[in-house]
Amino acid sequence: MTINQGERPGNRRTGTKTRRRQPIEEDAMLTDARCYLEGEWTMDHVKERSLHLRNHPLFALTSDAGKAGSRLIINVEGVTTIDAAGCQLLTVWLSCLEFFGVHPALENAPETLLEAARRMGFDYTIQQYLGEK
């Protein structure tokens, strides 16, 4: 998982420019942070994914004022496979972010992720985080 304030790292094929990643400081106020999720979100990988999500820099901010009004844009286009365990982990993480005052928004959700969420009954939960929030 990559945390980046600003643009996504450049694409070598298209030659897009990138901005340097800036570390998130403890007393910083976030406005728009970006997060990129990728890989398999299945029962076999839930433990690894949950450790990454639990150690997200937004949870390290000590001040609630630093989190209030923050928005985390989560790009999920790199998620290749997701099952019920992965959907559950993702929705719980999104809820935790909201609980801590961060407004998450999913972007670039692949059709495979949306279809899997529909099949497993997570479609309403996932849909509420799609797009601008």
Q: What is the pLDDT of residue 42?
A: 93
pTM for this one?
0.68
Q: What is the pLDDT of residue 114?
A: 95
> pLDDT of 27-71, one tens digit each?
444 467 888 999 999 999 888 888 888 777 766 665 555 555 678
Q: Is the pLDDT of residue 119 over 80?
A: yes
Q: What is the pLDDT of residue 26?
A: 39
Q: What is the pLDDT of residue 7?
A: 43
Domains of the chain: 30-127 (3.30.750.24)
Radius of gyration from C-alpha coordinates of the chain: 15
Q: What is the pLDDT of residue 123?
A: 92
SS percent in the chain: helix, strand, coil, step 5: 40, 25, 35
Q: What is the pLDDT of residue 126?
A: 92
Q: What is the pLDDT of residue 132?
A: 53
Q: Cα dist. 62→28, 38, 115 in Å?
A: 10, 28, 37
Q: What is the pLDDT of residue 60?
A: 64
* Eight-class DSSP state of 44: G
Longest dimension (CA), the chain: 42
Burial, 72: exposed, middle or buried (Cβ in 10 Å; 0-12, 13-18, 19+)? buried
